[in-house]
Structure formats: C-alpha cells, structure tokens
A and B are shown apart, each in its own frame.
Chain A
Amino acid sequence: DAKTTQPNSMESNEEEPVHLPCNHSTISGTDYIHWYRQLPSQGPEYVIHGLTSNVNNRMASLAIAEDRKSSTLILHRATLRDAAVYYCILRDVGEYGNKLVFGAGTILRVKS
C-alpha cells in the first residue's frame, strides 16, 4: 500500500477555512485519494475522494496537485463538530473491496 504523510495535528478557529495537507509521493496511477474522518467515540466517516481533478461535495473540497504527489482537504468553514482525526488514504481503483489502511492521521482541533 502506498504511504501517506500527514501533520500530527492542526488547529483552527471556528468559522474559518481549514486546509489539511497530505503527501503521497509514491502514489500510483490507479490510486484514488480518499479522506475519512473519525469524530470522538464514533466510527470513521467517509468525507471525499478523487483521482486527478479537484472535487467538491457538501462536506468538503479536495484539491489534488497536478503531479498527484500531494493533496489538500479543505473545510470551508470549520465548526466545532468538525473536530476529529482526518485520515488520507490511497486505494487502488482496480481492487474492489480492498481494505482501508489507516495511517497516522491529523488531529484537527477547532477553537470557538
């Protein structure tokens, strides 16, 4: 499994945008970039995923570098409910049902 590297922790003020970086320099051409988050005392939750182009959904945006060696998860207006551990995970598009490999994610703290 290709490896990802994320900051251990980040802090944000409520109502401000948050940019969570992820480095994946060994990504292969068939790897999707997935983001999950885990709120305290809950199971992980899917946030967003992409392959090459930037993606937006109701929760967040995903900006993917042109060489795909890094990506950034963008929360446009952080709320206290966004405080969680955010995981950046690579998954091969050709392998359905393959496991999620959780590395050391980023602990996001949101201050009111």
Chain B
Amino acid sequence: AAGVIQSPRHLIKEKRETATLKCYPIPRHDTVYWYQQGPGQDPQFLISFYEKMQSDKGSIPDRFSAQQFSDYHSELNMSSLELGDSALYFCASSDYRVGDKNIQYFGAGTRLSVL
C-alpha cells in the first residue's frame, strides 16, 4: 500500500538559508500534519491542513510557513534557518471520511541539519 512520501530525506543548509520540505500524503487522504522532532525529544506538532485550508496551528515559528496544494501535497517552507532548526521533520496524513478512527500515517521524515 502507498505510504506518506517525504522529500528530501536529508537536507543540509547553512544558517540564514531557506529550506523547503515536501510531503505527499497517502492517496485520497485529505488532511496533512507537520511535526518537528529535535534530538532526543518527542515529536511536536507544527501545523495541519484539511482540504487545503489550515486546520490547526502549533508552536510553529513565524519564519516557517506551509500550505497544502490542490493535489493535497504539502510543503513546509523554512526561512532564516537557525542552528536550533536542526531536527527531524515528519509529515502525517489522515482521511476525514474514515470518521472516528482518525489514524495518522507518518512518513519517514526529513532530517534537516543546519550548519
């Protein structure tokens, strides 16, 4: 079965540079979530989109922005990168029509290293 695809898997950037992370949800899934996991930490919610509209927002820095496109894929844009942005970034997707299950399926993540 198709899973959540994230690209790139690894990304190395310099301080103050910009990064774009992409997420392709499971086909027919309408909701996308972004999480950040720092070294030795638990995943923290950043932002989510349902049917291309922002549905929830967590502790996402103002330097970050995200959107969901008409084909339901999502991109997380990160500007003015800081050393503290080095982390694993996970994308997850779910299907509204499944109802109360609301299971989130996670991608393998993008490892961002800011030097």
A residues sitting closer than 8 Å to B (CB atoms) are 32, 38, 42-46, 49, 85, 87, 91, 93, 96-105
In the assembled complex, which residues on chain A have CB atoms less than 8 Å from the CB atom of B72?
none
B90 touches A (CB below 8 Å): yes
Residues of A within 8 A of B105 (CB): 46
Question: Which A residues are CB-close (under 8 A) to B100?
Answer: 32, 93
Q: Chain A interface mostly helix, strand, loop or mixed?
A: loop
- 11 residue pairs from A and B, CB less than 8 Å apart: A43-B109, A44-B90, A44-B104, A44-B106, A49-B103, A91-B102, A93-B100, A96-B31, A99-B33, A99-B45, A100-B43
| Max chain B Cβ within 10 angstroms of own Cβ: one of A38, A43, A93 | A43
Asked if B114 CB lies within 8 Å of chain A CBs, one says no
Residue of B nearest to A104 (CB): B42
Mark contacts of B26-46 with chain A using CB atoms, 8 A cut-off: 1 yes-contact digit, 0 otherwise.
000001010100000011110
A97 is contacted by which of B4, B31, B44, B90 (Cβ under 8 Å)? B31
Q: List chain A residues, Cβ under 8 A from B44.
A: 102
Q: Are B96 and A96 in contact (CB under 8 A)?
A: yes
- State how many angstroms separate the Cβ of A39 from the closest Cβ of chain B: 11
CA distance A83 to B70 in the complex (A): 38
Contacts of A99 in B (CB 8 A): 33, 45, 48, 56, 58
- List of B residues within 8 angstroms of A97 by Cβ: 31, 48, 50, 55-56, 94, 96, 102
User: Is B25 located at the chain interface by the 8 A CB criterion?
Assistant: no
Complex interface: chain A residues within 8 A of B96 (CB): 96-97
Chain B window 80-98, contacts with chain A (Cβ cutoff 8 Å), 1 for yes, 0 for no: 0000000000101010100
